[in-house]
Structure 1
Amino acid sequence: MHIALKAGERIFINGAVLRVDRKTSLELMNNAVFLLEAHVLQPQDTTTPLRQIYFVLQSMLMDPVAASHARDLAEVLIASTRKTFSNRDIVDGLGEVEAYMAEDRLFDALKTIRGLYSIEAMIMSGKVADRSRTGETEAA
């Protein structure tokens, strides 16, 4: 896998933080768990249920030593979020996240959550009712 990085950009690989001093590209020659800096959520941005789950999952990638404790918290947050929303896209997405977690595919779980951000934002702003699938909901 080839990864292009800009000068000063960081990448998190298998729990290590790397920063490049100039534009460069990396080629990962084996399986590695990585997270690009652009996908790292800061603590002050964990303002919604999905962002809180994302932050915990990202912590599992960035600090593999503490991953088992973070996994327990992620499971609690997912269960709580599932009770908070009735929107089928979000509920189904959370099911996908759990399946990815069970397979240790955390990057895929993060990608799934990022894909649900816009639905969550529409529901929380009242632009879409929290029912069925987003495409089938009525505007509030």
Structure 2
Amino acid sequence: MPLKIEIKTGDKIIINGAVMENDGPTAKFLVHNRCAILREKEVMAEEESNTPASRIYFALQCAYIFPHKKNEYLELFGKYVQDYLTASPSSGPILDKILEEVTHDRLYQGLRAAQKLLEHEGQLMAKVQDTIEPLEPSGTPDPE
């Protein structure tokens, strides 16, 4: 069964590493074979990968888009996953789902699961922010 894709004017899509932009009216097409496809909203730029979960997502995204460097990116991905699990054991079930997909070479599904990890990380960061009390200035330090 082919994959039906609709791209609105100005939207970008990556297919097998090639970035394409729709320069006309809404485009619709069918993809009949297996290939790496990411919509613009699913793509993370390297400069956006500045948190532990986003590094996991970015490494997996690169493994998916650039199959000639897949092993290199999956090695990085594995390191980031281990580091994340050590720092955040509560993320274990989400990481297990991501790893299950990656182990079965379903990298796109792994990326979808990694989006849940990004959400989880955001929730953890919000909780931490809620518990931090602002520092009050203590006045002028005593010169000794």
- Give TM-score, length-normalised by structure 2: 0.80
Q: 1:31-110 to 2 correspondence within 5 Å? A: 31-87=34-90, 90-110=91-111
In structure 1, the residue corresponding to 2:89 is in which secondary structure?
coil
Deviates more, 1:77-86 or 1:117-126: 117-126
Deviates more, 1:42-51 or 1:104-113: 42-51
Q: Distance in 2 between matches of 1:119 and 1:76?
A: 19
In structure 1, the residue corresponding to 2:35 is in which secondary structure?
coil
Residue 9 of structure 2 is matched in structure 1 by 7
Q: Distance in 2 between matches of 1:127 and 1:75?
A: 26
Deviations 1:4-49 (A, max 9, x none): 1012322112222222212201211122221111110112221221
Residue 127 of structure 2 is matched in structure 1 by 126
Deviations 1:48-94 (A, max 9, x none): 2111100111111221111110011001111111101021xx21111
**CA-atom RMSD in angstroms:** 1.8
Structure 1 stretches (4+) deviating beyond 3 angstroms?
A: none
Q: Distance in 2 between matches of 1:18 and 1:64?
A: 18
Residue 21 of structure 1 is matched in structure 2 by 23
In structure 1, the residue corresponding to 2:29 is in which secondary structure?
strand
2:53 and 2:84 in contact (8 A); partners too: yes
- Give TM-score, length-normalised by structure 1: 0.82
- Could you tell me which runs of 5 or more consecutive residues in structure 1 were left unpaired when the two chains were aligned: 129-138
Identity %: 24
Q: Distance in 1 between matches of 2:76 and 2:119?
A: 23
Q: Distance in 1 between matches of 2:120 and 2:78?
A: 21
In structure 2, the residue corresponding to 1:116 is in which secondary structure?
helix
Bigger-Rg structure (1/2): 2
Aligned length: 128
